[in-house]
Amino acid sequence: MQDIINQLEEKRQAARLGGGQKRIDAQHAKGRLTARERIDLLLDKDSFQEWDMFVEHRCTDFSMADSKIPGDGVVTGFGTIHGRLVFTFSQDFTVYGGSLSETHAEKIGKVMDQAMKVGAPVIGINDSGGARIQEGVASLGGYGDIFQRNVMASGVIPQISLIMGPCAGGAVYSPAITDFIFMVRDSSYMFVTGPDVARTVTHEDISAEQLGGSVAHTEQSGVADGAFQNDIEACLMLRRFFDFLPANNRSKVPVRTTNDDRYREEPSLDTLVPDDPNQPYDVKELIVKIVDDEDFFELKPDHAKNIVIGFGRMEGATIGIVANQPLVLAGCLDILSSIKAARFVRFCDAFGIPVVTLVDVPGFMPGSAQEHGGIIKHGAKVLYAYAEATIPKVTVITRKAYGGAYDVMSSKHLRGDVNFAWPSAEIAVMGSKGAVEIIFRSEMNDQEKIAARIDEYQAKFANPFIAASRGFVDNVILPRRTRLRICESLEMLRNKKLENPWRKHGNIPL
């Protein structure tokens, strides 16, 4: 018995040491933590229960039979974050570069299966050179098995990926299917094929950072939802982020106690929208002033900045926020902002998170770049996402709601539950100048007449009352009371029941 216990301890030690002290030191020298250190930071103290610590690979090629490390390059198990259950896997770069073997994949699959059975989120900490090259097709099969699970879990349990090192090849496709991806600045990379392959195939001389670093993915591609300064900040921010998420698609959104009163008025909001309709303002000021305790977790803050998305709380309960940002491109919708908003709305809908939409949109972005890039299809994604969503939807039009973009942004016509307008709202087919230039083209030579026509159009449509008279907005509200009106609406909607007709699945314009 004592022998076995000694053996057990030896194996545990070996597993904890992963690829050895030298490689652990190398990991630290790069400013990165080890797989276990990351889990310790992410989860509540002493809550982690490890599984499969003694699993070893089965490969015999390339002398692999003589080189087995218990755990096989990934630490898996479950624990809690602020007391709420979460499953996790953390790839160990010190063991064959965190590469994915058949058994490594089985370990990840096991925690994913269990998370599905009990309805708890999965957080994957990715630090991997991709498929374990020595294993060949067996590791490709392992990836396939994980992808299949990612897809089955999509919309059932939240899946979050932390990218904390180089992630190449198959190591990026599993995160791509998950709901959220966070990276670490100057320390994590994601690419399907790395700089060397790019150099050979496209003759492009590009660094790993330029090709797939956090800037590339948080600003340009939009693949990542955010980036943090270092491993420590990433794990701690993930704990904050996790608090917004429900456990699964059947559980209610988490509610946290707050002293922030629903009756809190914000007089400064009465003057947020400038008198000049061409003057921008920062919609994030509005967001932080209406949510509980100014606590807003923005996603993709550096990508498609003309739309703002993220999580906040109203009276303790999580809400999703989608807001046009007049500060960037006048808040108009383009390809990237449409994709950004649509995917977020679909996440919220899948997990029963009410969406509050703040509208100030002059329309879709014109021009060949947008048209040839497929704005028709991509813009339709937002429309589709809002139209199919059955969650509570509360909309506030602060200023412009022009053209197709008016319809798209959670309008009454797309089953918006409660649609408010501020007194500064303008709901029209387009801006007055553009409208007059089209319908009074024959009068264009007469500047005086045109100015009068613009004034006439402005007077008729630059207000919320025409839309309100048709019931397209439910009420015109004082900006300072926006928080109260949203809280009341969400309370009224708490037991909302709405089902879409049976179908295998819709066909969103991808």
Give the footprint of ligand HXC on this chain (CB under 6 A).
23, 96-97, 99, 129-133, 140, 143, 166, 168-170, 173, 194
Least distance to ligand HXC, CB of residue 337, Å: 29
Catalytic member of 18, 73, 79, 170 = 170
Least distance to ligand HXC, CB of residue 165, Å: 8
SS3 311: strand
Least distance to ligand HXC, CB of residue 135, Å: 8
Tell me the C-alpha distance between 118 and 121, whole Å.
9
Query: Does residue 357 contact residue 395 with C-beta atoms inside 8 Å?
Result: yes
Least distance to ligand HXC, CB of residue 59, Å: 10
Tell me the C-alpha distance between 63 and 159, whole Å.
36
Place of tokens 């025409």: 466
* Annotation says 404 is catalytic: yes
Q: Which is nearer to ligand HXC, 81 or 168 (CB)?
A: 168
Q: Which two tokens stand for residue 106?
A: 């089985």
* Annotation says 310 is catalytic: no
Q: Which is nearer to ligand HXC, 133 or 236 (CB)?
A: 133
Least distance to ligand HXC, CB of residue 28, Å: 13
Q: Which is nearer to ligand HXC, 17 or 288 (CB)?
A: 17
Instruction: Find the helix packing angle between 335-350 and 375-388, rounded to 10°.
Output: 20
Tell me the C-alpha distance between 126 and 217, whole Å.
15
Selection from 58, 86, 383, 446 nearest residue 245 by Cα:
86
Selection from 210, 211, 209, 213 nearest residue 193 by Cα:
211
Catalytic member of 138, 216, 405, 428 = 405
Least distance to ligand HXC, CB of residue 185, Å: 17
Q: Which is nearer to ligand HXC, 146 or 358 (CB)?
A: 146
Least distance to ligand HXC, CB of residue 60, Å: 15
* Annotation says 405 is catalytic: yes
Classify burial at 73, counting beta carbons within 10 Å of its beta carbon; exposed 0-12, middle 13-18, buried 19 or more: buried
Phi-psi sector, 266: left (phi>0), alpha (psi -120 to 50), beta: beta
Catalytic member of 124, 130, 169, 416 = 169
Tell me the C-alpha distance between 409 and 341, whole Å.
10
Residue 482 half-sphere exposure toward CB, CA atoms < 13 A: 29
Q: Which is nearer to ligand HXC, 181 or 358 (CB)?
A: 181
Selection from 108, 90, 117 nearest residue 145 by Cα:
108
Query: Does residue 186 contact residue 209 with C-beta atoms inside 8 Å?
Result: yes
Q: Which is nearer to ligand HXC, 170 or 362 (CB)?
A: 170
Query: Does residue 327 contact residue 281 with C-beta atoms inside 8 Å?
Result: yes
Tell me the C-alpha distance between 116 and 124, whole Å.
14
Helix/strand number for the chain, H first, E second: 19, 16
Q: Which is nearer to ligand HXC, 91 or 458 (CB)?
A: 91
Q: Which is nearer to ligand HXC, 170 or 354 (CB)?
A: 170
Least distance to ligand HXC, CB of residue 381, Å: 25
Tell me the C-alpha distance between 126 and 76, whole Å.
12
Tell me the C-alpha distance between 280 and 373, whole Å.
27
**In this structure, which long-range contacts are made by residues 191-199, counting pairs with CB atoms below 8 Å and at least 24 apart in sequence?**
191/167, 192/168, 193/168, 193/169, 194/168
Active site residues: 169-170, 404-405
